């Protein structure tokens, strides 16, 4: 409407009241229909409307307004609607409506997540979320990838981390038992123990070994008890999987993909990004200069301008071991030997302090990575790759896959995964095996970066975290 309607045309607009101000003669209503961060200014000359009606125009009320689109006399908007007819579709009692035209804390809005869409900030975040989802499909479609729907219910633990939510129809109080006193899952709905998936990768591999290039994009579930600003129990993951790609092709794709998405946000979401940037600066204005984060648009552009720094885990451990932060005991988890798993404090040190750009770490110790990764000739490391981003830490995890049947079975034995239970997965290595690779992008972590929001609970409509499944 703001973009397409012509001046002096009769228009009809529907939306929710953001604010109302004015005087005895005239009343200005800021109306928003959710399509953009910008409001439509509705001007109502009070003499044309019953006082009772205008009283019901309060923040949050739903209105339909018929009137004339005219050039705005005021500053702040090019056009406004001169109201001829106002209908209050739904009142919002100011005594009871929680979202008032003042600054609410993000915590308060999380408790009112059912209404937080009505705020400017969450309107912006969820419009950007949509744009990023669209851009992901667009990116892969344009490059010959096929969208694959991986199952959400599964009997296998793809990541082998044992963080799965059980899916069962057995009576929790008296489940059927086997002779040796274990729960008898043979009698469960699927005839075996099943859970919600932690990754669609294994199924993605099966499809890639026939369709060439595929990607999944769906909800993923992890019962890890991490109450951090970067973990959800239910999050969305994008998992491309490509036949005939080695680890280098995989890194090139990951870098190009992330840059494309960020460029797309800058090209298509600028109004919302500018709003989010201003809000962030407002929030941080009392902090010392060195503690403030980079301006959002600048930060997004800086990722586009620089190639990502690529180095091995071994090189990264050397950098960390010798770092001032490590020597001065600044790390909560000191880096004292090769083989330690890197924490987000280490990842962020590499990205924010040392290289000052996104980093792709490769060739991690096999011990700290999943069973399916391609074993390197050194017999210690695997062809893994993690992409690390400022403020976020790990945004992508991926690898080249072990294509050799014997090596894969040996590794599964070592980590205690019975090969018989995953015979279907191993068949891709039995028949027409070939090099292939893929990765997983945490969709909400991408959104944290693009929107500049600080808590992952604020970039998904209804967050699922330990002890929290409201709405």
Which of 87, 66, 88, 70 minimizes the C-alpha distance to 79? 70
Q: Which is nearer to ligand 4AD, 5 or 155 (CB)?
A: 155
The SS3 call for residue 165 is coil
Residue 198, phi then psi, degrees to nearest 5: -95, -5
Q: Are 429 and 412 in contact (CB under 8 A)?
A: no
Q: Which two tokens stand for residue 76?
A: 């702040």
Residue 222 interacting entry, from Mg ion, ligand 4AD, none, C-beta within 5 to 8 Å by type: ligand 4AD
Binder of ligand 4AD out of 81, 83, 251, 395 (CB under 6 A)? 395
Q: Which is nearer to Mg ion, 231 or 357 (CB)?
A: 231
Q: How far apart are CA 363 and CA 251, in angstroms?
A: 12
Contact call for residue 164 and ligand 4AD (CB under 6 A): no
Q: How far apart are CA 212 and CA 205, in angstroms?
A: 10
The SS3 call for residue 80 is strand
Q: Which is nearer to ligand 4AD, 59 or 250 (CB)?
A: 250
Q: Which residues, other chains included, contact 274 with Cβ-Cβ below 8 Å and sequence gap of 6+?
A: 297
Binder of Mg ion out of 397, 398, 452, 463 (CB under 5 A)? 397
Residue 238 interacting entry, from Mg ion, ligand 4AD, none, C-beta within 5 to 8 Å by type: none
Q: Are 388 and 358 in contact (CB under 8 A)?
A: yes
Size of the site for ligand 4AD (CB under 6 A): 23
Rounded to the nearest whole angstrom, what is the least distance from the CB of residue 399 to ligand 4AD in the complex? 6
Instruction: For strands 166-167 and 309-312, give the pairing.
Output: unpaired
Rounded to the nearest whole angstrom, what is the least distance from the CB of residue 233 to ligand 4AD in the complex? 7
Listed ranges 143-151, 265-273, 392-400, 410-418: which one lies at the site for ligand 4AD (CB under 6 A):
392-400
Contact call for residue 199 and ligand 4AD (CB under 6 A): yes
Binder of ligand 4AD out of 57, 207, 351, 396 (CB under 6 A)? 396
Q: How far apart are CA 119 and CA 103, in angstroms?
A: 10
Q: How far apart are CA 13 and CA 278, in angstroms?
A: 28
Rounded to the nearest whole angstrom, what is the least distance from the CB of residue 460 to ligand 4AD in the complex? 9
Task: Give first-to-last CA distance, the chain, whole Å.
Answer: 32
Contact call for residue 276 and ligand 4AD (CB under 6 A): no
Which residue minimizes CB distance to Mg ion? 397
Q: What is the DSSP code string of 392-444?
A: TEEEEEEEEBP--HHHHHHHHHHHT--GGGGHHHHHHHHSS---EEEEEEEHH
Q: How far apart are CA 323 and CA 341, in angstroms?
A: 17
Q: How far apart are CA 454 and CA 447, in angstroms?
A: 10
Listed ranges 19-27, 143-151, 325-333, 391-399: which one lies at the site for Mg ion (CB under 5 A):
391-399
Rounded to the nearest whole angstrom, what is the least distance from the CB of residue 53 to ligand 4AD in the complex? 47
Over its C-alpha atoms, the chain yields an Rg (Å, rounded) of: 27
Q: How far is CA 29 from the centre of its chain?
A: 34
Report the site for ligand 4AD in 401-440 (rule: CB under 6 A).
Answer: 438-440
Q: Which is nearer to Mg ion, 119 or 399 (CB)?
A: 399
Rounded to the nearest whole angstrom, what is the least distance from the CB of residue 341 to ligand 4AD in the complex? 12
Residue 425 interacting entry, from Mg ion, ligand 4AD, none, C-beta within 5 to 8 Å by type: none
Contact call for residue 272 and ligand 4AD (CB under 6 A): no
Q: Are 445 and 231 in contact (CB under 8 A)?
A: no
The SS3 call for residue 66 is strand
Rounded to the nearest whole angstrom, what is the least distance from the CB of residue 159 to Mg ion in the complex? 8
Q: Are 239 and 199 in contact (CB under 8 A)?
A: yes
Binder of ligand 4AD out of 15, 60, 67, 397 (CB under 6 A)? 397
Rounded to the nearest whole angstrom, what is the least distance from the CB of residue 410 to ligand 4AD in the complex? 21
Q: Which is nearer to ligand 4AD, 30 or 253 (CB)?
A: 253
Residue 15 interacting entry, from Mg ion, ligand 4AD, none, C-beta within 5 to 8 Å by type: none
Contact call for residue 239 and ligand 4AD (CB under 6 A): yes
Binder of ligand 4AD out of 80, 159, 352, 458 (CB under 6 A)? 159
Q: Which two tokens stand for residue 194?
A: 């099943």
Q: Which is nearer to Mg ion, 397 or 438 (CB)?
A: 397
Contact call for residue 393 and ligand 4AD (CB under 6 A): no
Q: Are 452 and 266 in contact (CB under 8 A)?
A: no
Which of 154, 146, 129, 125 minimizes the C-alpha distance to 220? 154
Residues at the contact surface with Mg ion, assessed by CB under 5 A: 397
Residues at the contact surface with ligand 4AD, assessed by CB under 6 A: 158-159, 199, 201, 222, 224, 231-232, 235, 237, 239, 394-399, 438-440, 442, 444-445
């Amino acid at each position: 409407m703001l973009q397409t309607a012509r001046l002096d045309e009769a228009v009809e607009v529907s939306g929710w009241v953001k604010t109302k101000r004015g005087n005895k003669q005239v009343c200005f209503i800021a109306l928003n229909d959710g399509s953009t961060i910008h409001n439509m200014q509705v001007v109502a000359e009070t003499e044309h409307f019953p006082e009772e009606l205008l009283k019901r125009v309060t923040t949050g009320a739903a209105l339909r307004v018929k009137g004339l689109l005219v050039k705005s006399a005021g500053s702040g908007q090019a056009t406004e609607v001169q109201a001829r007819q106002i209908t209050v579709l739904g009142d919002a009692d100011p005594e009871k409506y929680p979202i008032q035209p003042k600054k609410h804390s993000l915590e308060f809005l999380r408790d009112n997540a059912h209404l937080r869409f009505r705020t400017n900030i969450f309107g912006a975040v969820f419009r950007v979320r949509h744009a990023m989802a669209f851009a992901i499909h667009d990116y892969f479609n344009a490059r010959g990838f096929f969208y694959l729907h991986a199952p959400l219910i599964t009997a296998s633990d793809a990541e082998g981390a044992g963080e799965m939510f059980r899916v069962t129809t057995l009576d929790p109080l008296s489940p059927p038992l086997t002779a040796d006193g274990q729960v008898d899952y043979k009698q469960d709905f699927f005839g075996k123990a099943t859970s919600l998936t932690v990754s669609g990768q294994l199924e993605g591999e099966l499809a890639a070994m026939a369709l060439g290039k595929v990607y999944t994009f769906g909800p993923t579930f992890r019962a890890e008890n991490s109450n951090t600003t970067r973990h959800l129990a239910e999050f969305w993951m994008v998992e491309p999987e490509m036949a005939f790609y080695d680890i280098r092709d995989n890194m090139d794709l990951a870098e190009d993909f992330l840059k494309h998405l960020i460029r797309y946000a800058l090209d298509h979401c600028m109004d919302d990004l500018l709003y989010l940037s201003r809000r962030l600066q407002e929030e941080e204005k009392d902090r010392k200069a060195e503690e403030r984060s980079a301006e959002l648009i600048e930060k997004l552009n800086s990722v586009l301008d620089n190639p990502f720094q690529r180095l091995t885990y071994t090189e990264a451990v050397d950098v960390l071991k010798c770092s001032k932060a490590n020597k001065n005991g600044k790390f909560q988890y000191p880096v004292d030997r090769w083989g330690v798993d890197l924490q987000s404090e280490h990842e962020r040190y590499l990205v924010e302090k040392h290289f000052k750009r996104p980093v792709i770490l490769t060739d991690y110790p096999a011990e700290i990575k999943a069973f399916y990764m391609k074993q390197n000739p050194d017999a210690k490391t695997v062809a893994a790759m993690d992409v690390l981003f400022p403020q976020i830490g790990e945004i992508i995890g991926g690898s080249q896959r072990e294509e050799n049947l014997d090596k894969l079975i040996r590794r599964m034995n070592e980590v205690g995964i019975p090969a018989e239970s995953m015979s279907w997965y191993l068949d891709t290595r039995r028949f027409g095996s070939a090099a292939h690779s893929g990765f997983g992008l945490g969709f909400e972590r991408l959104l944290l970066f693009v929107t500049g929001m600080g808590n992952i609970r604020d970039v998904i409509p209804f967050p699922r975290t330990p002890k929290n499944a409201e709405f």
